[in-house]
Structure 1
Amino acid sequence: MGPSGALIVFVVCALCGGASAVDMSKVQPYNLTAAVMFLQEDLNQDGIMTIAEIDSVFDKYDTNGDGRESRHEYTTMICTADPDLFQLSHYLFDDYDVNGDHHLEQSDFEAWHAKIDATGDSNGSVNQDEFVNYWVKLFETIAGQAPVHGHAHEHGHCP
């Protein structure tokens, strides 16, 4: 590779932050992070994650109160809580946006709940094992992804 090729690689790496994958260090070990998430989101502490509990968790991201969360609302809330999770927040939004319409709504929450339940016994309830197993697999999948999500409005850092 000649000097100009090395310069191009350097510029590309500088633009990408030099990282080869989304930084997942804040959520490791994945199983412990997922277990803590379940305990925090199982609002009545009965060992079952209901759609109503998922709705309550997601409602906090609806900053304009219109009943749906945009990518911007969701990623901004995550960024405010922990800027190091900004890249991860885009991948999580995509997972929650089951119907792919770029907004999170009740239908997405119900479909997302069903996705988690389908990893276990598909009985309409999500228990801690199903929840943790789902998140561990999701985190492992995201860990291998490039840090820049690819959305034109996403620049790899908090807005």
Structure 2
Amino acid sequence: MLTRLCLVAGLLLCVEATKHPPMASTSPKPTPTPLSLADFYRIYFHREDLNNDGVQTLSEFEQLWRQADLNGDGSVDLREYTSIGPSTMLMASEVYKYLDHDHNGVITLQEIPRMFTQFDTNYDGWITEQEFVDEKIRIFNLVTKNIGLGKK
């Protein structure tokens, strides 16, 4: 969940980079190339691949959830989700609402398998980099559209 929150913050940077093209400079300073959304998610896929085997498993999803449960009460609430890393409250809360499948205000360990199968689109028991990237982009587009940042 920590990396998920950092991911949201990074996504906002990607959105902002597309809104504000680099200004012309009189000095020949190199301009960094903006990271594509897909490349950004690829980086986070590998950060969340805890055993570095090239796929993510349900066990890894559950381990990430346990890390996000800061107070150890068996659930991750919006406060815990937003305190893990930098992000705007609006974007983080919209992603959180999307991930909270039963909409009770907390994400419990029992919700993780459903979240996992959402990413494991071919239902083979692990999430590949491409499955992860595709689902993250889908969620990003849905959430940014819902808060008025995406294409209409």
Q: Which runs of 5+ in 1 are unaligned?
A: 1-22, 148-159
Partner of 1:26 in structure 2? 13
Figure out how many residues of one structure are paired with residues of the other and give that number.
119
Aligned residue among 104, 108, 112 for 1:105: 108
**Residues 41 and 132 in structure 2, CA contact (< 8 A), matched pair in contact too:** yes
72, 86, 91: which one pairs with 2:89? 86
**2:81 counterpart residue number:** 74
**TM-score normalised over the length of structure 1:** 0.67
Give the Å deviation of 1:143.
Answer: 1.8
Counterpart CA distance in 2 for 1:131 and 1:89 is 18
* 1:51–1:88 distance in 2 versus 1, CA, 3 Å: same
Structure of larger gyration radius:
1
Q: 2:65 aligns with which of 34, 58, 61?
A: 58
Q: Tell me the TM-score normalized by structure 2.
A: 0.69
Distance 1:70 1:25 in 2: 22
d(CA) in 2 for partners of 1:75 and 1:56?
18
The gaps in structure 2 that reach 5 residues or longer are 1-9, 16-35
Alignment match, 1:134? 135
Counterpart secondary structure, 1:104: strand
Name 1:43's counterpart in structure 2. Answer: 50
Please state if 1:125 is matched with 2:126. Answer: yes
Contact 1:117/1:125 (CA < 8 Å) preserved in 2? Answer: yes
Greater Cα shift, 64-73 or 90-99? 90-99
Q: Does structure 2 conserve the Cα–Cα contact (< 8 Å) formed by 1:38 and 1:128?
A: yes
Percentage of matched positions with identical amino acids: 20
Q: Once the 2 structures are TM-superposed, how far is the Cα of residue 113 of structure 1 from its aligned partner?
A: 0.3
Please say if 1:115 is aligned against 2:98: no
**Which amino acid is the alignment partner of residue 92 of structure 2?**
S
Give the superposed CA RMSD: 2.0
Partner-residue secondary structure (3-state), 1:65? coil
Residue 100 of structure 1 aligns to which amino acid in structure 2? H
Match of 1:153 in 2: none
